[in-house]
Amino acid sequence: MKTLLNLLCCCLTIFCGSVQASIVLGGTRIIYPSNKSEVQIGLKNKDPHTRYLVQSWISYPDDAKAPFIITPPVYKLQENRQTLLHVIFTGDKKSLPADRESLFLANVKSVSALSPELKEKNTLQFAMKTRLKLFWRPAQLKETDALSAYEKITFHRQGDTLIAINPTPFYVSFGELALGGKSVPVKETKTTPGAISMMIAPYSKQNFALPKAANGEVTWTAINDFGAQTPQRKQAL
């Protein structure tokens, strides 16, 4: 029985992975300048044989409804086709901070269409959900400053805790973070995915648990606006 369960788990993992790889978003994050009426992100179905029904919406990190709409909110993506999702802010711009970025999440859920031979049979389908960070960026904040924000992060140590300080108005998402060559472990919970816990908000501090016996200088990279990893930075503690 244990062997059968392990085999089933492997099959499900492979199936989910293949589904997830079929629907591809044209980016790893969305930057929404506050002076734009909308922003767009590409959505592509790489599967030449299967259609997908795709549902998209914007939320706060705690899953509460956010003041955005995505059009189309539900879309039938044909085999080997692509489309554009239009993200539109519908709230009061004055309700968001004008001196720093605000964070939202773009949610994209997809489920494959059943083939005709399976429609009359009992089947188990999985809906795959992808979440992208959406950064609302006040128009007065410059892109050049956003790209260099990670260089301004400073660190200090307090026992087994590494404290990162962000003096900039931008969110900084770490690509790599290590002390003395030992990677800082990614903290992930049901409510806080690792991509959120490895990020530091504007004008704030973030604590990271250090690996045992980690000593030396801090090294880090960040993920920039284009989803690329920045050059590495170093700081002695």
Please, what are the averages of pLDDT over each run of 10 residues along the chain (237 residues)?
A: 36 36 88 97 92 95 96 94 96 97 96 63 64 96 98 96 98 97 86 84 96 93 96 96
DSSP three-state, residue 100: coil
Instruction: Give the pLDDT of residue 206.
Output: 95
Residue among 228, 226, 87, 222 nearest 164 (CA): 222
Alpha carbon distance 118, 29 (integer Å)? 36
Instruction: Give the pLDDT of residue 113.
Output: 74
Q: Note the pTM of the prediction, 2 decimals.
A: 0.84
Q: Which residues of 209-222 are buried (b: 16+ CB within 10 A; e: fewer)?
A: ebbeebeeebbbbb
Residue among 113, 128, 114 nearest 21 (CA): 128
Instruction: Give the pLDDT of residue 72.
Output: 96
Alpha carbon distance 62, 208 (integer Å)? 21
